[in-house]
A and B are shown apart, each in its own frame.
Chain A
Amino acid sequence: AQSVTQLGSHVSVSEGALVLLRCNYSSSVPPYLFWYVQYPNQGLQLLLKYTSAATLVKGINGFEAEFKKSETSFHLTKPSAHMSDAAEYFCAVLSGYSTLTFGKGTMLLVSP
């Protein structure tokens, strides 16, 4: 069965600092991986997805993620944090024909 582990329920950074949110997956088949962002009391918005093409995936709002098969990881990064990046981030893996299994989420806190 496919699963996702997000390390760190909360990550704090200063504005302008590097953002690194960690995601490790377990999958018996080549995975399809997704990162979503959720602002308070809203639905989820797709940041980026990996579907077995390029291992470095660029998404919206300056975020990118690198697929590393040897490490079973798909960490999300952004070179310089902005106050508007404060939100909860979810990593997900395709776990059936079209269903997703989500990690428990990482809350990103950005301080001025």
Chain B
Amino acid sequence: DGGITQSPKYLFRKEGQNVTLSCEQNLNHDAMYWYRQDPGQGLRLIYYSQIVNDFQKGDIAEGYSVSREKKESFPLTVTSAQKNPTAFYLCASSQGRAHEQFFGPGTRLTVL
């Protein structure tokens, strides 16, 4: 089955540590996205990539970094510079303009 996988589902880290969230898709989509979801805030775009080896900042990129070395993979690193990293993180992919985004199951990150 084609789809998007995110791992792990739950992640706990100590304050000050960097952490990397995995996102893999086998839909052969060109574009991939990372969102952060907080209660009552909807989804906010962190980074997106429309092609391999290229990515752009979204609305809340500060304290995050990404890479896109392979078409199927788009890992997100939450750095120690992110002031409030505890949140639900969602990865998505799409074929291109006006096409719907397909979402992974999400990773819930808790920083202790």
Query: Residues of A at under 8 Å CB distance from B?
Result: 9, 32, 34, 36, 41-46, 49, 51, 90, 94, 97-105
- Report the minimal beta-carbon distance from A47 to chain B, rounded to whole angstroms: 10
B85 in contact (CB, < 8 A):
no
| CB-CB nearest in chain B for A52 | B98
Rounded to whole angstroms, the CA-CA distance of A9 and B88 in the bound complex is 19
Query: Residues of B at under 8 Å CB distance from A?
Result: 4, 31, 33, 35, 40-45, 48, 50, 58, 88, 90, 92, 94, 96-106, 108
- B40–A104 touching, CB < 8 Å: yes
Rounded to whole angstroms, the CA-CA distance of A98 and B71 in the bound complex is 16
- B100–A98 touching, CB < 8 Å: no
- A97–B97 touching, CB < 8 Å: yes
Which secondary structure characterizes the binding site on chain B?
strand
- A51–B58 touching, CB < 8 Å: no
Residues of chain A lying within 8 A (CB to CB) of residue B31: 98
Rounded to whole angstroms, the CA-CA distance of A34 and B96 in the bound complex is 15
- B98–A99 touching, CB < 8 Å: no
Rounded to whole angstroms, the CA-CA distance of A98 and B90 in the bound complex is 16
- Report the minimal beta-carbon distance from A69 to chain B, rounded to whole angstroms: 17
Rounded to whole angstroms, the CA-CA distance of A40 and B94 in the bound complex is 23
- B42–A99 touching, CB < 8 Å: no
- Report the minimal beta-carbon distance from B5 to chain A, rounded to whole angstroms: 11
- B90–A43 touching, CB < 8 Å: yes
Rounded to whole angstroms, the CA-CA distance of A64 and B88 in the bound complex is 28
- B103–A90 touching, CB < 8 Å: no
Q: A44-B90, A99-B58 are in contact. Are A51 and B98 (CB under 8 A)?
A: yes
B43, B44, B90, B103 — most chain A CB neighbours (10 Å):
B43
- A102–B43 touching, CB < 8 Å: yes
Residues of chain B lying within 8 A (CB to CB) of residue A101: 45
Of the candidates B42, B44, B94, B106, the one whose C-beta lies within 8 Å of that of A42 is B106
Residues of chain A lying within 8 A (CB to CB) of residue B42: 90, 102-105
